[in-house]
Amino acid sequence: MKDIPDRVFVQKVISGDTEAFGELVLRYQKRIYELAYRFARHPEEAYDLSQEIFLKAFNALERFRGSSGFYTWLYKIAQNTCIDYTRRKSTWVELPFINDFPSDDSWLHPSTAYSSTTKFLENQELNNEINSAIDQLSPRQKQVFILRHYEGLALRDIADVLDLKVGSVKAHLFNAIRKLRARLTPYVQ
């Protein structure tokens, strides 16, 4: 079933085969849950948020134009739903700590595993500073940065999700990285 393009399942759902939507959910539930968890920080809330995202997508599927990929369209719904959630909850996600802080851009990708409790505690200050620095970005810079460096979306997909030109995405990303590097450099000296 993985070889069948998303658009085939979309057409089946639009034609009345609502069971076909289950395949789309299976394909993307992990990625959507990870995004929801980044905003919610609690498994149950992330699960509920994921369900809300898929329900919105199901209800809006007839309006899917196909000008972008299904996942890009779904991700846009997910991003907007998560932003609404953030506004309702007035919280932001705590990012995992960074193991090392090299001079290249590899520091933008947090480690998913802690080498030890001691190492984790030693890096808690850096973790707090990273969160604080990301929170200081403009809303658009924060969105672009997270979509690129935590969700791994291509610049073109980010542009589609946020209704921006690719050049604008590049500018927001450049400015976000410049601000983060300036703010976080003292912590890696």
Flag whether 42 is in a domain: yes
Three-state DSSP at 23 gives helix
Highest averaged pLDDT of the listed ranges 5-14, 60-69, 169-178: 169-178
Residues 85 and 113 placed together within one structural domain of the fold: no
Flag whether 97 is in a domain: no
Flag whether 135 is in a domain: yes
Flag whether 177 is in a domain: yes
Flag whether 100 is in a domain: no
Averaged confidence pLDDT in the chain: 81
**What are the tens digits of pLDDT across the range 103-145?**
455 445 555 444 455 566 557 777 778 878 888 888 889 889 9
- Whether residue 134 contacts residue 142, with contact meaning beta carbons closer than 8 Å, is answered with yes
Q: Determine the length of the chain.
A: 189
Please give the residue that has the higher pLDDT: either 25 or 87. Answer: 25
For residue 116, the model assigns a pLDDT of 55
Flag whether 64 is in a domain: yes
Contacts of residue 158, Cβ cutoff 8 Å, sequence gap at least 6: 144, 147, 148, 164, 169
Alpha-carbon distances of 4 from 1, 7, 12, 30, rounded to whole Å? 5, 8, 12, 19
Query: Is the pLDDT assigned to residue 18 strictly greater than 50?
Result: yes
Query: Is the pLDDT assigned to residue 101 strictly greater than 60?
Result: no
For residue 130, the model assigns a pLDDT of 82
Residues 83 and 121 placed together within one structural domain of the fold: no
Give me 7's structure tokens: 């658009």
Strand runs labelled E in 20-167: none
Query: Max CA-CA distance within the chain?
Result: 60
Over range 59-64, report the average pLDDT: 91
Rounded Cα–Cα distance for residues 75 and 162 (Å): 10
Flag whether 124 is in a domain: yes
Query: Is the pLDDT assigned to residue 21 strictly greater than 70?
Result: yes
Rg from Cα positions in the chain: 18
**What are the tens digits of pLDDT across the range 72-81?**
899 889 988 9
Domains of the chain: total: 2
Over range 148-169, report the average pLDDT: 87
Alpha-carbon distances of 101 from 33, 106, 110, rounded to whole Å? 28, 8, 10
- What's the domain range around 109? 105-187
**Residue entry with tokens 């739903």:** 81
- Poorest-pLDDT segment among 84-88, 111-115, 156-160: 111-115
CATH of the domain at 74: 1.10.1740.10
**Residue entry with tokens 């994921």:** 50
Query: Is the pLDDT assigned to residue 97 strictly greater than 70?
Result: no
Residues 70, 84, 31, 102: is their CA dihedral positive or negative?
Answer: positive
Residues 51 and 126 placed together within one structural domain of the fold: no
- Poorest-pLDDT segment among 23-37, 54-68, 119-133: 119-133
- Whether residue 153 contacts residue 172, with contact meaning beta carbons closer than 8 Å, is answered with no
Residues 113 and 150 placed together within one structural domain of the fold: yes
Percent of the chain with pLDDT over 90: 33
Flag whether 98 is in a domain: no
